[in-house]
Structure 1
Amino acid sequence: MKQNISQRQRVKQFIVTVLNGISLGIVITLIPSALVSQLVLLCPDNVLAKDISFMTTLIQSTLPLVAGFAVGQLFKLSTIDAGAIALATFVSSGVVMKTPTGMVINGTGVILNIVLVVLLATALTRLTTTIFGHFKMLLQPLFVVIVAGGLGLMTLMPLRLVQTLMGTAVAAATHLTPVLMGAVLGAVFAFLVVSPLSSVGIAMAINLSGVGSGAANAGIVVASFTLAAMGARVNPIGATLAHFIGSPKIQMANMLMKPKLFIPTTIGAAIMGMVASILSIKGTPFSAGFGFSGLIGPLTAYTYSDKTLSAGIQIILVFVILPGVLAFALKWLFIDKLHHIQPDDLKLTLQ
């Protein structure tokens, strides 16, 4: 019995470490773009701004590589092992698409497939780390790429379809009454943004725009603020800010292993989704999945507002003041009052 418990604990720790490595990859590759995403809009003719934007956009497509390598580092594997995991993840992530004239690199890949392939590649690498002996440098990367990467190519389309079907289900919420639609979309996108699914990809797939996009953005913002506030005691200031300046997906491992964390974020997101709908906060399919990241959500909302002082105040309320108030209220309720959640539940082990 104890042996079974120990085995389950090892499997759980293995999964947590993989998810933490992927989260680290997300932080490294997506936050630079989030920090400078509005640079070109502010300086459209500046050559340096365009070059910086090009670099940070290209960085996003290295997510599978960096995530795979980060997982290898967290497991303290050799450079060859970590590189093999990174290569297997990259070739099966969906970042690279074949065309009649060559290949095109675009996007960050299908994150659900990235998680699956990293799990497979890491397990395979650990099982075969010594099997090739002196030929490891020659054979280990090729073996892991062909087996784990090959399986990943087989699962890529089905898992991309899962994301599409999820988008179809989310699209049904747009037919609800405005206030109820806001609550549902806010809660759903607060879930998506910390899940292995792509909130941006789903928003683009269903062409979520207008008030629906604004509600989705508001839900993501309050989820980001809430997770940052609840984990502020145990996380450094940089990691705390990364929740909303970058992406709350850095909490993916904690959220998936401790589902109770979804309770406060869902409550806050539903409330803010309703508020955003009532105030007619708008957005685009592209901005819907970002929230506060890179100021994409609030700046897009301002672009589609009537540019009055009242509209500006409403945007500040929805994207800054009310999410902050709700975040600390939910922190007080779930951590200080009910003790349902502990700050350590949100501790990031990213290195």
Structure 2
Amino acid sequence: MKNQLKKVTMATLNGTSLAVVIALIPSALLSQLLKFLPANSVTNEITVMITMVQSALPLIAAFAVGSMLKYGLLESGSMSLAAMVAGGIITQKNGSFIIGGSGVILNILLTVWFAAWCVLLCQKFLGQFKTILEPLLVLLIAGGLGLATMPLMVAVQNFIGQIVKQSTNASPIIMGIILGMIFAVLIVSPISSVGIAMAISLAGIGSGAANAGITACSFTLAWMGASVNPLGTTLAHFLGSPKIQMANMIKQPKLFVPVLVASGVSGAVTTILNLKGTPFSAGFGFSGLIGPLTAYQTSSGSLLLVRVLVGFVIVPVIMAGLCNWLFVKRSHFVDAEDLQLTIN
């Protein structure tokens, strides 16, 4: 039972973190680039496409987790039904259903976890009736539990948002350090960093520091795990999302130490450089170049391009290299294998 619990939990964490990258990376790679292209039917259609697929996150998460647990199509499909109804992507208004956003990741995790256990119970007790009853039972039980936990998960997210908001009252440099560290933790947690930033309307240098923290987190995790992960997976940390490491971070909490060091320094530097951002950009970091491009668009002053490069490329990369040398090569506090990813 203990081994099964660990297996289901780790598959849920790994599958959901991979789903985040799959669902969000098209928008991350193209959303900023499309702003520089003339608006026409092609660019408009692409914008619609990359926006729509973000709402597929709960479905992809369910299928990814089902695949990692070696479930069949019936089981994974049944899990996807529960994740869809309880993932937070559907709202009802005036008798119509509206699909939008990428959902509440924390509740997606819980729902998919519930669904994985429901599948195991169905396999044990339904026998020949599995094909008929499994989709319905997984939907009603796991989907129902997910709908019941949604208000609590939203309350948890709002509570964390208020804690983050309090850090904006600190002196600028201290605020930059704290926000950089907090958002580095959020980006590799089941909590949506974008959701938190939007909820508290984090803008200005606070947004810049948050982006810098996420950027430093991305480069640090990518560099420390580069020797055990393929090139594409390594690049996905900062071109996509470092949330791909969520399962490893929860399994090995010591990984937060180098991340906090790098993100705190990077948050302080962008604050000193007076690099800013918007509530929308604050939770993305380097993904799709949203953080640095928004900083360039919203900040002012001399040598702006140089400051952006220093804050979002040079300092994070230097901190990533230093953390890799100190925590992996020198002290062996972290093993590169701790960051190895399973993507199949």
Range of TM-score over shorter length: over 0.9
Question: Is 1:194–1:252's contact at 8 Å kept on the other side of the alignment?
Answer: yes
Shift of 1:222: 0.3
Mapped partners of 1:307, 1:266: distance in 2: 29
Q: Does 1:145 align with 2:145?
A: no
Q: CA RMSD in A?
A: 1.2
Q: Which residue of 2 aligns with 1:63?
A: 57
Question: Which of 110, 113, 118 is the aligned partner of 1:119?
Answer: 113
Q: Does 1:17 align with 2:14?
A: no
Question: Is 2:122–2:130's contact at 8 Å kept on the other side of the alignment?
Answer: no
Counterpart residue type for residue 331 of structure 2 = L
Q: Does 1:207 align with 2:179?
A: no
Shift of 1:130: 4.9
Q: Does 1:348 align with 2:327?
A: no
Shift of 1:158: 1.0
Equivalent position SS for 1:175: coil
Normalising by structure 1, we get a TM-score of 0.96
Shift of 1:307: 6.8
Normalising by structure 2, we get a TM-score of 0.98
**1:7-65 Cα shifts (integer Å, max 9, x gaps):** 53442232111111111211211111111112331114132111112111111100000
Q: Does 1:90 align with 2:99?
A: no
Question: Is 1:182–1:270's contact at 8 Å kept on the other side of the alignment?
Answer: yes
Shift of 1:110: 0.8
Question: Is 2:221–2:339's contact at 8 Å kept on the other side of the alignment?
Answer: yes
Q: Which residue of 1 aligns with 2:74?
A: 80
Shift of 1:178: 0.1
**What pairs with 1:20-31 in structure 2 (closer than 5 Å)?**
20-31=14-25
Counterpart residue type for residue 131 of structure 1 = F
Equivalent position SS for 2:91: strand
**What pairs with 1:314-329 in structure 2 (closer than 5 Å)?**
314-329=307-322
Question: Which of 178, 183, 194 is the aligned partner of 1:189?
Answer: 183
Question: Which of 279, 285, 289 is the aligned partner of 2:283?
Answer: 289
Equivalent position SS for 2:125: coil
Counterpart residue type for residue 147 of structure 1 = I
Q: Does 1:54 align with 2:48?
A: yes
Equivalent position SS for 2:123: coil
Deviates more, 1:49-58 or 1:284-293: 49-58
Question: Which of 274, 290, 301 is the aligned partner of 2:295?
Answer: 301
Unmatched runs of 5 consecutive residues or more in structure 2: none
Q: Which residue of 1 aligns with 2:273?
A: 279
**1:58-107 Cα shifts (integer Å, max 9, x gaps):** 11100000100111111111101001111101100111001014011111
Q: Which residue of 1 aligns with 2:225?
A: 231
Q: Does 1:311 align with 2:304?
A: yes
Shift of 1:214: 0.3
Question: Is 1:164–1:205's contact at 8 Å kept on the other side of the alignment?
Answer: yes
Counterpart residue type for residue 339 of structure 1 = H
The count of aligned residue pairs is 344
Mapped partners of 1:136, 1:67: distance in 2: 22
Counterpart residue type for residue 187 of structure 2 = V
Shift of 1:132: 2.9
Equivalent position SS for 2:98: strand
Q: Which residue of 2 aligns with 1:4?
A: none
Question: Is 2:17–2:245's contact at 8 Å kept on the other side of the alignment?
Answer: yes
Counterpart residue type for residue 276 of structure 2 = K
Counterpart residue type for residue 190 of structure 1 = A
